[in-house]
Amino acid sequence: MFDRRNYLLDNVALGMRGKSLLSIHDLSREEVWKIFEVSSKLKEETKTGITHHLLCGKTLAMIFMKPSTRTRVSFEVGMWQLGGYPLFLSSQELQLKRGETPSDTAQVLSRYVNGIMIRTFDQQDVEDLANYGTIPVINGLTDLLHPCQVLADYFTVYEKRGKTKGLKMVYVGDGNNMAHSLMYGGAKVGMHVTIACPPELQPLPEIVEAAREDGKAEGVQIEVTHDPYAAVKGADVIYTDVWASMGQEAETERKTRILKPYQLNEDLVKAAENKDVMVMHCLPAHRGDEITDGVMDGPHSVVFDEAENRLHVQKAILALLMQDKSE
């Protein structure tokens, strides 16, 4: 049987008990590396058949205002593997946003379950649940941020390269929630981050500045540029995302026109001038738009390793935040 003392009883882990994860910006560097440490151990031991019922008897409410494949499956399977119960709640099964305030929802759920994961549009929904509830709240995605995905991304880089400090991450595409969280994440793990995007689709300047401030201690450079081919030169990782995110379908035609020069294709990979450059995508991918089949399925792609790591990293987050305070 799994011995939790080896994983969850040091000072950093104990300090994470009962906290919420709303943004990587809110995490300390020590907390990010603790998540990676626990992710690595859980992944390794799960693959050897060791069970980790760290959350036996615990229930996670999973609120989905946006549909999902990876977020739902990874959190649901992860909670089950930890010995707990994942409770799926769609927008049609809740009164949230249909008359009941986030405050009331948070207070009620705090008396029923041990944690909340929410995938929604508005970052304020996540903030309100955390502010009014008394249990950990995990941001599964908002239009502003995608912290769990990016923690899995940087864990994958660390797993593949054995380090993150001093490496260069280049994100090519819309300056969206992924761009925001990649900047926050790079600042915490010591990776330089360049966002290559059209002038019309730049990341929020306040997030760029906050990430730069976060990265000062590690000497991290956070840059925004508009030339994808110049940006990827010397890159260790090239990252992309769909051109029109869920809920932005009305903008698909406009964004497709603007973002065509930012397609992650074979020529862009070659422009990195790095035979070991890795290609990442948070999925789902619209093959032939933001990424070509040849790159997605090519030798530089770690897309599906990255997707698998959502499971292991989120298990670590759940275990760290939802462990019993009495232990």
Rounded percentage of the chain residues whose pLDDT exceeds 70: 96
Hey, what amino acid is at 132?
Answer: Y
Residue 1 confidence (pLDDT) above 60: no
Find out if CATH 3.40.50.1370 is the number for domain 149-307. yes
Residue 100 confidence (pLDDT) above 90: no
Q: Which comes out higher in pLDDT, residue 1 or 72?
A: 72
Contact call for residues 120 and 141 (beta carbons, < 8 A)? yes
User: What is the average pLDDT across 30-48?
Assistant: 97
- Catalytic choice (180, 300, 310, 312): 310
Say whether 310 is catalytic. Answer: yes
Say whether 227 is catalytic. Answer: no
Residue range 180-228, pLDDT digits in tens: 999 999 999 999 999 999 999 999 999 999 999 999 999 999 999 999 9
- Catalytic choice (81, 149, 263, 314): 149
Query: What is the per-residue pLDDT for 2?
Result: 46
H/E element, 224: strand 222-225
Say whether 146 is catalytic. Answer: yes
The residue extents of the domains of the chain are 149-307
Match 């409410």 to its residue by tokens. 61
- Catalytic choice (128, 236, 282, 300): 282
Q: In what order do the strands lie in the sheet with 59-64?
A: 85-90, 59-64, 115-119, 137-141
5 — pLDDT class (breaks 50, 70, 90): low
> Going along 23-132, which residue ranges are E strands?
59-64, 85-90, 115-119
Q: What is the pTM of this model?
A: 0.96
Say whether 25 is catalytic. Answer: no
DSSP class of 247: T
Residue range 258-308, pLDDT digits in tens: 999 999 999 999 999 999 999 999 999 999 999 999 999 999 999 999 999
* Spatial CB neighbours of 239, under 8 Å, sequence gap ≥ 6: 153, 169, 170, 171, 172, 178, 182, 279, 280, 281, 282
Say whether 282 is catalytic. Answer: yes
Say whether 149 is catalytic. Answer: yes
- Catalytic choice (72, 119, 192, 281): 119
| SS3 labels along 147-195 | HHHHHHHHHHHHHHHCCCCCCEEEEECCCCHHHHHHHHHHHHHCCEEEE
Q: What is the mean pLDDT of the chain?
A: 95
